[in-house]
């Protein structure tokens, strides 16, 4: 399965400022991940801690915050993990699901205001990489 990046914007808690981020789409990651300094520079503080099973099988406890994410004119809040500084930004399955609907059912949100072109292009990219049927 191939990987690709998505251009999104992550915002401050009050949504007054957004920073562009290119994140790797990873349907194997439930939550989105950003380097800790990126989240802290946006004014986020940890809201909770969760234990994650990493790709190599190790368990690791991480801080998590609710973060505004903007894509194609739509802004939604999603859970985001505070990663290490060298952690590449990751767009997790939950965030993809929030913006683009169910990969399993093929449903998509009808309330989306970011336009069918942006939505369709992203879904096409997901299909191309085997992340959507």
Number of domains in the chain: 1
Q: Residues in the chain, how many?
A: 133
Residue 57 within a domain: yes
**The pLDDT of residue 104:** 41
Q: How far is CA 49 from the centre of its chain?
A: 18
Q: pTM for the whole thing?
A: 0.75
Residue 76 within a domain: yes
Residue 46 within a domain: yes
Residues 33 and 85: beta-carbon distance below 8 Å:
no
Residue 24 within a domain: yes
State the CATH number of the domain containing residue 41: 2.40.70.10
Residue 133 within a domain: no
Rounded Cα distance, 131 and 78, in Å: 19
Residue 52 within a domain: yes
SS3 content of the chain, % helix, strand, coil (to 5): 20, 40, 40
Residue 63 within a domain: yes
* Boundaries of domain holding 110: 5-128
Residue 81 within a domain: yes
Per residue of the chain (133 residues), give pLDDT as tens.
557 899 999 999 999 999 999 999 988 889 999 999 999 999 999 999 999 887 788 999 999 999 999 998 899 999 999 999 998 999 999 999 998 875 444 434 444 444 444 455 555 656 655 555 5
């Amino acid at each position: 399965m191939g990987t690709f990046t998505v251009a999104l914007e992550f915002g401050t808690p009050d949504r007054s400022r957004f920073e562009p981020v290119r994140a790797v789409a990873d349907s194997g990651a439930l939550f989105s991940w950003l380097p800790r300094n990126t989240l802290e520079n946006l004014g986020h503080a940890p809201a909770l801690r969760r234990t994650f099973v990493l790709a190599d099988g190790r368990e690791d406890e991480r801080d998590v915050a609710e973060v505004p994410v903007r894509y194609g004119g739509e802004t939604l809040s999603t859970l985001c993990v505070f990663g290490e500084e060298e952690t590449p930004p990751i767009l997790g399955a939950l965030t993809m699901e929030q913006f683009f609907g169910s990969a399993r059912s093929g449903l998509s949100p009808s309330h989306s205001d970011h336009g069918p072109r942006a939505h369709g292009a992203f879904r096409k990219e997901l299909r191309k990489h085997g992340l959507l049927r």
